[in-house]
Structure 1
Amino acid sequence: MTILTSQMSLLLLLLLSVTTFHKIMSSNEHRLVQCNEKDQEALLNFKKGINDSIGQLSTWLTEKDCCAWEGVHCDNITGRVTELHISQLQGEMNLSILELEFLTYLDLSENEFDVINISATQHNFTHTSNLFYLDLFSPFGTLQMENLDWLSPLSSLKYLNLSGIDLHKETNWFRAVNTLSSLLELHLSHCNLNNLMFNPSIEYLNLSSLVTLDLSENNFTSQSPNSFFNLTKDLTYLDLHWSNIHGEIPSSLLNLKKLRFLDLSSNQLQGSIPDGIGQLPNIQHLDLSVNQLKGSIPSTAGNLSSLHYLDIGLNNFSGEISEKTFSKLSNLNYIDLTGSNFIVFQFDLDWVPPFQLHDLKLRNTNPGPNFPSWIYTQKSLQLLDLSSSGISLVVTKKFSILIERIPLLFLSNNSMTGDISNLTLKCETLYLDHNNFTGGLPNIPPNAIQVDLSYNSFSGSIPHSWKDLKDLYHINLWSNKLSGEALVHLSYWTKLQILNLGENEFSGTIPINMSPYLEVIILRANQFEGNIPQQIFNLSNLFHLDLANNKLSGSIQNSVYNLTQMVDHSITDFITFSSVELFTKGQEYYMSIIHKCRKTIDLSANNLSGEVPLELFQLVQLQTLNLSHNSLIGTIPNTIGGMKYLESLDLSNNKLFGLFKFILQQFSWKNPNRNSTSKF
């Protein structure tokens, strides 16, 4: 009994000891260890050049332990700084921070530094660097660095990202990174590098461990050397897009058997795709788009069974393509063959692909007059682009089921027919312009943002459900047979930027409440009536206003105009949308991109009366002003001479009078453009 009691006491004592030890260890794990004084000094030295406008470093105070500072991490036992990651800073990036001898992780990406201080960095190392992760990515491309000599002591680096830093003065960048024998990832995107030539026996001797290489968005002036791709056999990620690479695709590229990601897009590559492309069994992402490649697509590409993403659009390929090319590509979810209009599509009508695509882009291809039947089998499509592909025939029921479930739908510039008024689409972006669709407009979801149904034969009124389109910023219904009071919905479309309802039979008045973000208003050639609301002239973003050929009456409002875009020079060069019809100098222009510098007001062919407001002639950025075919009276003020960008002025068929000859002389002197026109 005594022995048992002793054993029980010993066991309880042991349990108590273990519990006490665990509490002590747990306490140590969460106890804030005091920061090393030397490390704190280095951090404060780094802070000196910082412009911390939003208070990211507000906790960096001497009376507070530096291990508790924002973005600083210390070792729990030694108290030495091991990690630093902080963003949204401005001012000077002082790389003396690398003097932190136990630093292993440094992330200064996503900052707005305008100066890098590296002058003393490489001379102050009194220790062996432990740094394995260094990210100095500059998103704004304003930083410049003359050389990369400071990298040499950082022999432990496994990850290096200097993307966005201008390195055009560093002519031998590959020699500098060659000192980093442990490097696994190298990112030098958008660095203004211009030299890709090297001696492979010397320069890349130490980079055999590299698995990720990103040299995209540079300006290499030479051809891609064949030996470049021999730098490592273990490369899995290679991105050289938009780097001005010339010549053919090097055969040595096919030696990278572990490659999973390859992007050579937006370069000047010529020749054909090597037949050996099928020797890259692990490739998942292949982008060769926007080059000058030609020839047929090799049949061996069908062996890339791991492929998820395939983009070879905007090249000069020819020959045939059939289901055999895709028969083994069961993992595909993205295909882009845009601009392959010399490729002949030979797909069996009963073919069912082994894949389910997320995105399919066949813009400017030539699949034939029939809508490709195999696309009907794709139940996971989120984006379908078959614009400008010569399609005229669809299987009505299958086509309806397909387009009802696709969020991003682009079928512009075909000859498709049919009545889709009974459909309830899920499209956030819908482009069906330049087709032959008839009947009423379809129902579209409340989250739709872009709708272009122009150049069809839709009829009837705008569905009542369209008033719920609170995210809509672009609508184009130009040239249909639509009627009714379309603008009753306008006050609900609070984010609208582009409104084009021209060439229809809409009626009613222009509402007072409309989106403050409107940039383009085209109501031309309808039956709108009533006054032009003063609110239109308070739209600060508006640069294109076309209300011509309606039944508008009353006077043009005589008050302060806040059309900022028509007074000040626009910083933004252009916006893009599907189409706009610009009437100027007596001609019609169809434009898919309209420049904001092209500022227009056209109120012609209405029943407007009264005097022309002086404020209208203070819109000095206007290039086209048309007030013709109204009943306006009064004289034209001399201030018209200040409209120095005016190229087309039409005031004809009104009741205006005055010193027209004198004004015309002023206008001609201010506007020497030979193409300028004026009518009084």
Structure 2
Amino acid sequence: MSEAPLFFNVNSNWVPPFQLDHASMSSIKIGPNFPSWLQSQKSLSFLDMSMSGISGKAPSWLWNWISNITFINLSNNHIECDVSDIFLSSTVKLLNIANNSFYGPISTFLCQKKIRKNKLEVLDASNNLLSGELSHCWKYWQSLIHLNLGSNNLVGRIPYSMGALVNLQSLRLQNNSIYGDIPSSLKTCSNLRLIDMGDNHLSIIPPWIGEMKNVLVLRLRSSEFKGYIPQQICQLSSLRVLDLANNSLSGSIPNCLENISAMALPDSYDISFSYSLSSEYWNIYASYVQNVQLGPKGKEMEYKENLKLVRLIDLSSNNLSGSIPVEISNLSELRFLNLSRNHLMGKIPEKIGSMKELESVDLSRNHLSGKIPPSMSNLTFLSLLDLSYNNLSGRIPSSTQLQSFDALSFIGNPQLCGDPLPKSCTIEEQSLNKSPIGSVEDDSKNSSFYIGMGVGFATGFWAICGALFFNRTWRHAYFRFADEIKDWIYVTIMIKMNLLEKLRVCLSK
């Protein structure tokens, strides 16, 4: 009955005349009370009551009753429950209680003896009221594939024992109060594809992160990271999302980002961020889909099934300096680029127009200078552009694409002119923005002229000097001629001087 516009309103004493194996009731109105008729269902293996309007305390019979269920999804309700009351048998493989009001120390749930033989593969307890430090009981949870404890009240360090989760494909601890280093033991979790530790209080991005070869999404934004972006991050050739925004990172942007081939080459295979579980009886697949909050166009958005389409680099709001590496232009599959609010200098890479898939470019609030590259006109998919508050100069290249943005995309660059800015370009500014091809042709002509003149002079000089050097008769004749010329010049000058002297005497009388 999922997604149906129904109210499943039955009497609290109703006993169904059937036994269900599979109950899918997502997004229909069941609550506010937890349906008591479920107690009569003894062979249920699949239960989905997400987004069903259930509120209040979970009934005391609930966790013993679900002991035979494989798939449990109670997410997006208003259920209150102490996590120490949760009991999981070895049959439960997926437990999704996200977006509720579950509370209590996380360690009391993870370390309780009665569930140490669990075979849970997916645990999503995000957006609840869980508290305390992450425990050291992870050796009892080695079946986990997806772990999401984001948006709770967790504190303390990430324990070294999390390295025991060798099957883990996604680790999400975002939006807590976790502090300290990322433990190197996570290197043993070689299957990790998604790491989200954003919105915490962590220290540095460890260089060993480059050893996590299968990571597709690395979200470490707003976690107080300091130091440099390690060059080893370029070894993550499968990376599709690199989000390090809103930290205190310094130094330059690594010039090896072109080595991230997933952003430079088209996909050779399809990827998925979902987990599918087959019901034992009905062969009906239930999917758990990852969702990640990203801000590719300046506004936080949730990406789920479409996450596999995203190619993003967000290094905004840090203390990065130096220039934008020209090598970044080789990331031809990149869709979202945000380097705003840093201290970057130099020019925008001339070949940025070769990044044909770009949908969003934000380079605002830096110290970039020079002209806007004409190749930017080639970015036909561009729907967001922000170059404001830099030191850019000259004419904005004329194109349907760039002129489609309003003046706010270019303001704060006093030397910039042309549509869509209200400032018109002067003749001088237009001459400074001549076509690079024309400039090359003019330079080429001038170079050819001077080269030809130099070759001609050298040829004439050595033709005359060589003849005088090797021919004795010509040499004597040349010097005799030179002496005669010298004598003629001397005599002529003396005659002129005598005439001038006589003229002076006459005038004085």
TM-score range, shorter chain: 0.5 to 0.7
* CA drift at 1:143: 5.5
Amino acid at match of 2:81: N
Inter-CA distance 455–219: structure 2 relative to 1 (3 Å threshold)? same
Give me the TM-score of the superposition, normalised by structure 2: 0.66
* CA drift at 1:274: 0.8
Mapped pair 1:453 → 2:387: yes
Mapped pair 1:394 → 2:394: no
Give the aligned partner of residue 380 of structure 1.
262
Give the aligned partner of residue 330 of structure 1.
213
Q: Give the Cα separation in 2 of the matches to 1:120 and 1:284.
A: 42
Amino acid at match of 2:45: K
Give the aligned partner of residue 347 of structure 2.
419
SS at match of 2:14: helix
Give the aligned partner of residue 110 of structure 1.
3
* CA drift at 1:259: 0.4
Mapped pair 1:135 → 2:24: yes
- 1:33-64, CA deviations, whole angstroms, 9 ceiling, x for partnerless residues? xxxxxxxxxxxxxxxxxxxxxxxxxxxxxxxx
Give me the TM-score of the superposition, normalised by structure 1: 0.50
Give the aligned partner of residue 358 of structure 1.
240
Mapped pair 1:175 → 2:107: no
Give the aligned partner of residue 148 of structure 1.
35
Give the aligned partner of residue 204 of structure 1.
87
- 1:326-350, CA deviations, whole angstroms, 9 ceiling, x for partnerless residues? 42x2111111111233443473x58
Indicate if the aligned counterparts of 1:392 and 1:414 stay in contact, CA closer than 8 A: yes
Q: Give the Cα separation in 1 of the matches to 2:71 and 2:407.
A: 42
1:476 to 409, 414, 424: 409
* CA drift at 1:162: 0.9
Give the aligned partner of residue 160 of structure 1.
47
Inter-CA distance 444–243: structure 2 relative to 1 (3 Å threshold)? farther
Give the aligned partner of residue 68 of structure 1.
none
Amino acid at match of 2:217: Y
- 1:590-640, CA deviations, whole angstroms, 9 ceiling, x for partnerless residues? xxxxxxxxxxxxxxxxxxxxxxxxxxxxxxxxxxxxxxxxxxxxxxxxxxx
Q: Give the Cα separation in 2 of the matches to 1:247 and 1:162.
A: 28
1:191 to 77, 84, 88: 77
Q: Give the Cα separation in 2 of the matches to 1:485 and 1:346.
A: 37
Amino acid at match of 2:372: G
Q: Give the Cα separation in 1 of the matches to 2:229 and 2:315.
A: 17
Indicate if the aligned counterparts of 1:451 and 1:475 stay in contact, CA closer than 8 A: no
Structure 2 residues not aligned, in runs of 5+: 264-310, 426-509
Give the aligned partner of residue 365 of structure 2.
434
Indicate if the aligned counterparts of 1:371 and 1:393 stay in contact, CA closer than 8 A: yes
* CA drift at 1:466: 3.2
* CA drift at 1:474: 11
1:279 to 137, 144, 164: 164
2:423 to 495, 505, 521: 505
Inter-CA distance 396–269: structure 2 relative to 1 (3 Å threshold)? closer
Give the aligned partner of residue 606 of structure 1.
none
SS at match of 1:208: coil
Give the aligned partner of residue 247 of structure 1.
132
Max Rg structure: 2
* CA drift at 1:277: 0.7
Structure 1 residues not aligned, in runs of 5+: 1-107, 487-500, 508-680
Indicate if the aligned counterparts of 2:177 and 2:201 stay in contact, CA closer than 8 A: yes
SS at match of 2:79: coil
Q: How does 1:199-238 map to 2 (within 5 A)?
A: 199=85, 204=87, 207-228=89-110, 231=115, 233-238=118-123
Q: How does 1:568-647 map to 2 (within 5 A)?
A: none
Give the aligned partner of residue 76 of structure 1.
none
Give the aligned partner of residue 447 of structure 2.
none
Inter-CA distance 122–229: structure 2 relative to 1 (3 Å threshold)? farther
Inter-CA distance 136–475: structure 2 relative to 1 (3 Å threshold)? farther
* CA drift at 1:112: 3.5
Point out which structure has higher relative CO (alpha carbons under 8 A, 6+ apart): 2
* CA drift at 1:177: 4.8
SS at match of 2:190: coil
Larger fraction in helix? 2
Cα RMSD (Å):
2.9
Amino acid at match of 1:215: I
Inter-CA distance 242–306: structure 2 relative to 1 (3 Å threshold)? same
Q: Give the Cα separation in 2 of the matches to 1:469 and 1:251.
A: 57
SS at match of 1:505: coil
Indicate if the aligned counterparts of 2:337 and 2:361 stay in contact, CA closer than 8 A: yes
